[in-house]
């Protein structure tokens, strides 16, 4: 047999099998309960609300509050809310359906760029877990993995906890893949353009013209902001760039924060209070959209599409539109592909 310098020498018989030569992309969203029943809800909430990046209260005090109060009442109440938006055809939450569709569409788009790329998705809480999917990517031969927390704006409670969980898994590996964490894209032109274009398309399809549009972001406690979390400033920058791109003033496109949890003050102005005040002040037509959510979920479909719609109509409003997130549509995929390709710089050819 002739030996070519390109050919690796044959492996000794006792050498463990090795898969190699591929590059992984793991997109990671928050997670969603596996069912709307009490125990599925409780399991999900317990994992989520035990994360010290999410709840910064004294751990001993919090263990009592969580187990004695929150986990006895919230699973049932929130299970009813999830039931209103559940994907019954697949028996799963919409966040899971949409994240899977994003991973599949991203995989198809990236395949034309570099055949070594493998795309997968995971959830920070629940399944599929980050540890499981990192192991699967490594098993498929990924020597390098780009982890993309699916949050355009950075918060310790979302972005950083994905990185923590990924490194917890990497810590257990003998042969670690090289890992990168994608940064937030709150001020990226491709993201701002995609949001603006998609919003304009949805507004054009309405049978009314909103007098006010709310850009409603998930909130965080104000104390986290004061401790240095950049989230509030990144949301404000996204809103400012959107106004500039859409030619709208601060009165027309308003920044608000939703999904308050607990008794502390959260980032203001609150979405629900703003919706109520607008209706009471005589505004009849509004639209709400959620630039900080990459996929529709409980917080957009139920909290905005049901709860805030009810608030608006109950206080004198007449027309309310809840605009869908970018999801797995063309504009949304354009943003994800752009972020991924940018962050793969040096790993794949530009
Ligand atoms: C988009 C960014 C998000 C930030 C920032 C965020 C902060 C944050 N969230 C909670 C508590 C809860 N959030 C819940 C649901 C939920 N949160 C996000 C995103 C962000 N959270 C998403 C995408 C979802 C929806 C998941 C789904 O299954 O559809 C919930 C669960 C529902 C409920 O019980 O209300 C809680 C709880 C805190 C405390 C926090 C910041 C510290
Ligand atoms: Fe949340
Ligand atoms: Fe700031």
Residue 82 lies in a domain: yes
Are residues 92 and 231 both part of a single domain?
Answer: no
Q: Which atom of ligand 1 is nearest to the CA of 78?
A: 34
Q: Which ligand is nearest to the CA of 228?
A: 3
Residue 241 lies in a domain: yes
Q: Is 265 annotated as a binding residue?
A: no
Average pLDDT over residues 146-167: 98
Residue written as tokens 């009810």?
A: 310
The pLDDT, as a whole number, for residue 63 is 97
- Going by alpha carbons, the residue nearest to atom 41 of ligand 1 is 220
Q: Is 330 exposed, middle or buried (0-12, 13-18, 19+ CB in 10 A)?
A: exposed
Tell me the pLDDT band of 267, cut-offs 50, 70 and 90: very high
Decide if pLDDT at 134 tops 90. Answer: yes
- The residues, ordered by sequence, that sit 6+ positions from 127 with a Cβ below 8 Å of its Cβ are 31, 34
The pLDDT, as a whole number, for residue 3 is 58
Residue 59 lies in a domain: yes
Q: Which atom of ligand 1 is nearest to the CA of 261?
A: 39
Residue 254 three-state SS: strand
* Angle between helical axes of 94-111 and 330-343 (0-180°, round to 10): 60
Decide if pLDDT at 1 tops 70. Answer: no
Are residues 169 and 195 both part of a single domain?
Answer: no
Q: Which of 259, 266, 272, 300 to mutate to test the pocket of ligand 1 (most atoms within 8 A of CB)?
A: 259
Tell me the pLDDT band of 8, cut-offs 50, 70 and 90: confident
Decide if pLDDT at 255 tops 60. Answer: yes
pLDDT digit string, tens, across residues 60-73: 999 999 999 999 99
Q: Which of 298, 306, 324 to mutate to test the pocket of ligand 1 (most atoms within 8 A of CB)?
A: 298
Provide the mean pLDDT of the chain. 97
pLDDT digit string, tens, across residues 172-217: 999 999 999 999 999 999 999 999 999 999 999 999 999 999 999 9
**Listed residue (291, 44, 68, 45) closest to 191, CA to CA:** 291
Say which residue, 249 or 17, is predicted with more confidence.
249
Q: Which helix (H) or strand (E) holds 350?
A: none
User: ipTM for the complex?
Assistant: 0.96
For ligand 1, whether the C-beta of 261 sits within 6 Å is: yes
Average pLDDT over residues 20-42: 98
Decide if pLDDT at 2 tops 70. Answer: no
Residue 12's alpha-carbon distances to 18, 61, 174, in angstroms, are 12, 57, 20
Tell me the pLDDT band of 11, cut-offs 50, 70 and 90: confident
Are residues 92 and 193 both part of a single domain?
Answer: no
Residue 281 lies in a domain: yes
Q: Which atom of ligand 1 is nearest to the CA of 95?
A: 29
How many domains does one find in the chain? 2
Residue written as tokens 């032109």?
A: 189
Q: Is 143 annotated as a binding residue?
A: no
**Listed residue (93, 339, 318, 303) closest to 216, CA to CA:** 303
Are residues 208 and 157 both part of a single domain?
Answer: no
Percentage of residues of the chain with pLDDT beyond 70 = 99
- Going by alpha carbons, the residue nearest to atom 4 of ligand 1 is 218
Residue 95 lies in a domain: yes
* CB distance 26 to 99 below 8 Å: no
Are residues 272 and 335 both part of a single domain?
Answer: no
Residue 72 DSSP code: H
Question: The domain that contains 200 carries what CATH number?
Answer: 3.40.50.1400
The pLDDT, as a whole number, for residue 350 is 73
For ligand 1, whether the C-beta of 339 sits within 6 Å is: no
For ligand 1, whether the C-beta of 303 sits within 6 Å is: no
Q: Which atom of ligand 1 is nearest to the CA of 221?
A: 42
Q: Which of 218, 226, 231, 272 to mutate to test the pocket of ligand 1 (most atoms within 8 A of CB)?
A: 218
Are residues 145 and 211 both part of a single domain?
Answer: no
Decide if pLDDT at 9 tops 90. Answer: no
Residue 128 lies in a domain: yes
How many Å lie between the centroid of ligand 2 and the Cα of residue 22?
34
Q: Which domain holds residue 112?
A: 22-184+331-343
Q: What are phi and psi of 147, to 5 degrees?
A: -105, 125
- Going by alpha carbons, the residue nearest to atom 20 of ligand 1 is 218
Are residues 80 and 208 both part of a single domain?
Answer: no
Are residues 267 and 154 both part of a single domain?
Answer: no
Which stretches of the chain are assigned E, i.e. beta strand?
A: 22-29, 117-123, 142-149, 178-181, 212-218, 253-258, 285-289, 319-322
Average pLDDT over residues 138-142: 97
Residue 7 lies in a domain: no
The pLDDT, as a whole number, for residue 113 is 96
The pLDDT, as a whole number, for residue 16 is 86
Are residues 140 and 257 both part of a single domain?
Answer: no
Are residues 35 and 166 both part of a single domain?
Answer: yes
Residue 304 lies in a domain: yes
Residue 47 DSSP code: H
Are residues 196 and 92 both part of a single domain?
Answer: no
């Amino acid at each position: 047999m002739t030996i070519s310098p390109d050919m690796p020498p044959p492996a000794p018989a006792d050498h463990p099998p090795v898969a190699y030569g591929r590059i992984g992309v793991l997109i990671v969203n928050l997670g969603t309960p596996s069912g709307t029943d009490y125990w599925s809800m409780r399991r999900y909430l317990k994992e989520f609300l035990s994360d010290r990046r999410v709840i910064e209260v004294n751990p001993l005090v919090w263990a009592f509050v969580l187990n004695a109060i929150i986990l006895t009442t919230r699973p049932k109440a929130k299970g009813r809310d999830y039931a209103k938006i559940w994907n019954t055809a697949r028996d799963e939450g919409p966040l899971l359906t949409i994240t899977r569709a994003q991973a599949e569409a991203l995989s198809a788009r990236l395949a034309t760029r570099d055949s070594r790329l493998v795309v997968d998705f995971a959830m920070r809480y629940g399944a599929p877990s980050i540890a499981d999917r990192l192991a699967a990517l490594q098993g498929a031969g990924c020597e390098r993995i780009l982890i993309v927390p699916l949050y355009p704006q950075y918060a310790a409670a979302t972005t950083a906890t994905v990185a923590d969980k990924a490194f917890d898994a990497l810590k257990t590996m003998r042969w670690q893949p090289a890992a990168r964490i994608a940064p937030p894209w709150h001020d990226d032109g491709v993201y701002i353009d995609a949001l603006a274009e998609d919003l304009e398309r949805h507004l054009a399809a309405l049978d009314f013209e909103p007098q006010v549009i709310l850009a409603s972001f998930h909130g965080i406690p104000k104390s986290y902001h004061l401790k240095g979390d950049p989230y509030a400033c990144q949301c404000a920058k996204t809103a400012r760039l959107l106004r500039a791109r859409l030619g709208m003033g601060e009165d027309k496109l308003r920044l608000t924060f939703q999904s308050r949890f607990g008794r502390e003050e959260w980032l203001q102005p609150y979405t629900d209070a703003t919706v109520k005040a607008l209706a009471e002040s005589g505004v009849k037509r509004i639209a709400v959209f959620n630039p900080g959510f990459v996929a529709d979920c409980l917080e957009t479909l139920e909290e905005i599409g049901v709860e805030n719609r009810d608030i608006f109509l109950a206080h004198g409003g007449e027309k309310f539109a809840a605009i869908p997130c970018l999801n797995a549509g063309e504009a949304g995929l354009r943003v994800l592909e752009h972020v991924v390709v940018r962050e793969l710089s040096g790993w794949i050819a530009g």
